[in-house]
Amino acid sequence: MSIQIASKEIKPLRLNYAHIARRMGGDTKPASRYQEAVLDVQPTTNFHYPPTWEPNKQLFDVTRTAIVMNDWHTFADPRQYYYTSYVTARAKQQEVMDNSFEMLEKHGLWKTIPDSVLNTIRQVLVPLRHYEYGANLNNQDICDRGYGAPITSLASFNGFDRIGMAQYISRIALLIDENEETSLQAAREAWLHDAAWQPLRHAIEDSFVLDDWMEIMVAQNIVMDGFIYPLIYGRIIPQLANQGAGALLMLTQFMSEWYDETVRWSNQLMKVISAESPENASLLKQWVSTWTARIEPAITPIAALALGDQASAVVASVKQELLTRLGKNGVAV
């Protein structure tokens, strides 16, 4: 006797929540988890109280930025990070970084780095933990006052990343000092008093108090990071690696990977916002040129700590890269 197994298909009557089906223009295929996590999560109406600290605005208010979007859900994070995908990706990267730190410590690999190179690391890399912390504040501020769940959720994840990177830099400092705090203390002093760091500190502190959250987005995540990351992790660290600090490449791997991601989503964001209207495009242009003009001279003295007389030329090439990239995405300065 043979048994015939017949499969019976039960079609679900609906694949998606109604609001997501409306967004997707029909209920033909199931939404991705990312779409479910961000689409129409932004509260838009029925707020009980105006905020006491800003009585002329609503709790969530589109007018907190001069950028006007017909629909704040036009932008989608190309990485499609929602809680689970973000945490999974970062947990993997964290494991790799932990292994790198462990291996270096176990085999004393940093002991082979020449003293002059170690000093450059102390001077140029370690104070950046304060910059990262400032970047975290800026991103959490965007999350707090921003509008549009795809953008605010991304800013929140970004803020967490910055805390993580500040911690990695601190761990590098503790590693090369064999758990003494001298480099950390010296870096704090440099950040507060050293002439080379003051223009950057001044710029980032000015960005804290900007009213327009989208300007903070441009100033921090596009212009400042667009200078600092290619300069420090793209130019200076590889050069130090050639001078005997190869181990450093392993300890800053996350930063390089993270910046590649940042380039992808920030390109997309600029493209979407500038395509919406000429007014938006000219606002972005204005912010980019203001902050580029401010940051270029601010990081040249920091570059000089590692690169000497080549600093200006290297910073200029980094700036050119940034402007070319933005030019391709609708923000030609």
What whole-number distance in Å separates Cα of residue 126 and Cα of residue 170? Answer: 7
Nearer to another protein, 35 or 152 (CB): 35
Task: Choose the stretch contacting another protein; rule: CB under 8 A; options: 72-80, 170-178, 206-214, 312-320.
Answer: 72-80
In the complex, what is the shortest distance from the CB of residue 42 to another protein, in angstroms, rounded to a whole number? 21
Closest contact distance (angstroms) between CB of 135 and another protein is 23
| Rounded CA separation 56/26 (Å) | 38
Q: Are 253 and 324 in contact (CB under 8 A)?
A: no
Check binding of 94 to another protein (CB under 8 A).
Answer: no
**DSSP 8-state secondary structure symbol assigned to residue 329:** T
Size of interface with another protein, in residues (CB under 8 A) = 12
Q: Does 78 bind another protein (CB under 8 A)?
A: yes
From residue 168, how far is each of 133, 203, 292 by CA, in Å?
A: 12, 23, 27
Question: At its nearest, how many Å lie between another protein and the CB of residue 33?
Answer: 6
Q: Looking at beta carbons, which pairs linking 178-183 to residues 24 or more positions away fall under 8 Å?
A: 183/122, 183/126
90 interacts with another protein by CB under 8 A = no
Nearest to 123 by CA among 238, 229, 236: 236
Q: Applying CB under 8 A, does 77 fall inside the site for another protein?
A: yes
Q: What is the DSSP letter of 112?
A: G
Among 21, 24, 87, 89, binds another protein (CB under 8 A): 89
Interaction with another protein in 2-41: which residues (CB under 8 A)? 7, 9-10, 32-34
Which part of the chain contacts another protein (CB under 8 A), choosing from 75-83, 163-171, 247-255, 284-292?
75-83
Alpha carbon of residue 180 to chain centroid:
30
**Binding flag, residue 80, another protein (CB under 8 A):** yes
Output the smallest distance, CB 213 to another protein, in A. Answer: 24
Output the CA torsion sign for 198, 200, 205, 211. Answer: positive
In a 3-state reduction of DSSP, which class is residue 195?
Answer: coil
Q: Does 286 bind another protein (CB under 8 A)?
A: no
CB 222 within 8 A of CB 270: yes
Q: Where are the alpha helices (DSSP H) in 46-148?
A: 83-107, 115-120, 128-145
| Residue with smaller CB distance to another protein, 34 or 131 | 34
Residue 127's nearest CA partner among 288, 263, 306, 307 is: 306
**Residue 170 makes contact with another protein by CB under 8 A:** no
Nearer to another protein, 80 or 290 (CB): 80
Shortest approach of another protein to residue 264 CB, angstroms? 9
Distance CA(184)–CA(175), nearest Å, equals: 11
3-class DSSP assignment, residue 292: helix
When the beta carbons of 10 and 18 are compared against another protein, the nearer one is 10
Give the nearer residue to another protein in terms of CB position, either 9 or 309.
Answer: 9
Q: How far is the CB of 9 from another protein (least distance, A)?
A: 5
Site string for another protein, 130-169 (x = CB under 8 A): ----------------------------------------
Which spans of this chain sit near another protein (rule: CB under 8 A)? 7, 9-10, 32-34, 77-81, 89
